[in-house]
Amino acid sequence: MNIELILVPYEEKTVLYHLMQLYRYDSSEFDGHVLNHHGLYLYKFFDHQWTDEYRRPYLVKADGEIAGFVLVKLDVPKEYMQLSTAEKTNVISEFFIMRKYRRKGIGKHVARELFETFSGHWEVRQTATNLPAYTFWKQVISEVQNNRYQEDFMKNETWNGPVFAFETGMA
């Protein structure tokens, strides 16, 4: 299977917007998001994907078909981190593989590619009740990092859930 990670240009943001609706619906059982009066899920930082220099919105394609998306933040200062103490840390903000493509190695492939492309410190978080996401990330990070990572459950004013912190590509 040919898996691609494609940066979403501003002109194609509607594609990401539609995928965001599927993602928010899919995750609403874990995070409690509700539809607005227009029947849509809001994502406060959607337009920031193209205005904030440190954000990267990617489409995931499998054999040419859209399979999901991932939103990444690069070089986030340590005061915004939950577990990482590095001066700058990369963060997976949102990660979505459509149900049709799950359990086929696509998510793992995408995660590996991101960790290799943007080597350095990483932090990955999940909503406390999203056990499938926790299981996925624990397996992928354990494998990629040969069990060299930190994990903690954070509950504070900004986060409630498991957090993984690790470093990639550093010799």
- Output the pLDDT for position 31: 87
Q: Residue 157: its pLDDT value, please?
A: 79
> Could you report the per-residue pLDDT of 83-111, keeping only the tens digit for each?
999 999 999 999 999 999 999 999 999 99
Helix residue ranges, H only, 52-156: 106-117, 131-144
Q: How far apart are CA 71 and CA 91, in angstroms?
A: 9
Q: How many domains does the chain have?
A: 1
Please give the backbone phi and psi of residue 88, each rounded to the nearest 5 degrees, phi first. Answer: -135, 135
Check if the beta carbon of residue 8 is closer than 8 Å to that of residue 96: no
Tell me what pLDDT residue 171 has.
Answer: 46
Give the three-class secondary structure for 73. Answer: strand
pLDDT at 170: 60
- 125 touches 166 (CB < 8 A): no
Token duo for residue 37: 């009066």
The domain that holds 123 is classified in CATH as 3.40.630.30
Bridge partners, residue 65, by sequence: 62
- Domain range for residue 107? 3-168
Element (H, E) at 100: none
Reading the chain (171 residues) residue by residue, the pLDDT tens digits are 999 999 999 999 999 999 999 999 999 999 888 999 999 999 999 999 999 999 999 999 999 999 999 999 999 999 999 899 999 999 999 999 999 999 999 999 999 999 999 999 999 999 999 999 999 999 999 999 999 999 999 888 778 899 999 999 864
